[in-house]
Every structure is written in structure tokens, then in C-alpha cells.
Amino acid sequence: MIATAFSGLRPMAYLVPDRRARHRVIAAGFRIFVEHAVEHGEIHLIDDGPAVAVWFPYTSPLPAPADYERRLTEATGEWAERFRVLNGLFEQNHPAEPHQHLAFLAVHPDRQNEGLGTALLRYQHARLDGLPAYLEASDPRNRDLYARHGYRARQPFALPDGTLYWPMWRPGTV
């Protein structure tokens, strides 16, 4: 479902230029992190799965996904280096302060603009217990959604093709 929601986003075209392979490859890449979230994070679904949020706690050291390099290479094949570039940019821009990280918020294209993403954000924000939250917005529309929920854009960074990501921080409450 995450791959279906994300396939049309510009960063995915950089990661997997071949449109025919894009969905399959990014789904395999995302699967690594979703499986990791089962053990080390949280996955929130709405009903039968038209929307999902995947969160990771950065409140203590978080292990990398098991055997990540091998799995990434197998999942992404000839485009593995592009995924590594993106991962490096994510690492360079990730804040050091304790926070919850929204790795993915995906709403099926047929169900967008129904408030499902907002519902998932509100649910987790109510559970943060004062902790800040962080994410990387992948397009202006998503960036604006997160801004409406209290996230503040930090300095954007670009993929080698010029595609922007906006790191965003939602301060904790006291």
C-alpha cells in the first residue's frame, strides 16, 4: 500500500527510473522498514488498510534493520546505489534530539483527501506525551499537510536530480 501511494511521487522516479519496475522495487525496499517497524517501531492502520503510518522511536539507540545492506541490494537491484544516496541524505539531516520519527504516512490514491492521513497524525500526536516528532516531506502538498499539524520545515535537501525533501520538526509540548 505504501508503494502504491508513493509511486507517483517525484523522489520515486529518481530512485527507480523504470516506471514498469518502480512499484515492485520500492515495495521491496519499503518492506524492509515495515518489517523493522514490527519489532522496533509502530505501525498504525486505518480499518482495512487504506492508510498507514510507520513510526520509529528515536529515544534511545535504534538498531538498523537486520542484514540491511544485503537486503537492500536484493530488493532494489541495479538501483541500490540510488537508495543508498537517499539513505545518506536522510542520515545527514536527521536530528540528534530524542523524538518520534514518522518514516511513512501513506494513503491509497483512491482514498486521499478524506482526512485519513490527518486522523493517523492526530492519533500519534495525542500519544507523544510531550515528545517532538520528525519527518521528511517528499513533496509540497505533503509538506503543507504536515505544516497544518504543527511541523516546521527545516532547510530542504536535494537528491542528485534536484528533487527536494523537506525535513520537518514538530516541537514537543510541555
- Give the model's confidence band at 48: pLDDT under 50 very low, under 70 low, under 90 confident, else very high: confident
The pLDDT value given to residue 129? 85
Distance CA 127, CA 114 (A): 22
Overall pTM surpassing 0.75 (yes/no): yes
In the predicted model, what is the mean pLDDT of residues 43-69?
94
What the block records as the C-alpha cell of 121 is 497524525
What the chain holds in terms of domains, given with CATH numbers, is 2-170 (3.40.630.30)
Asked whether the predicted pLDDT for residue 124 surpasses 90, the reply is yes
Averaged confidence pLDDT in the chain: 95
Amino acid making up residue 66: A
pLDDT tens for 12-43 read 999 999 999 999 999 999 999 999 999 999 99
Residue 160: exposure state from Cβ atoms within 10 A (0-12, 13-18, ≥19): exposed
| Helix runs in the chain, H state only | 2-6, 10-15, 19-40, 68-76, 80-93, 116-127, 140-148
Asked whether the predicted pLDDT for residue 174 surpasses 60, the reply is no
Asked whether the predicted pLDDT for residue 173 surpasses 80, the reply is no
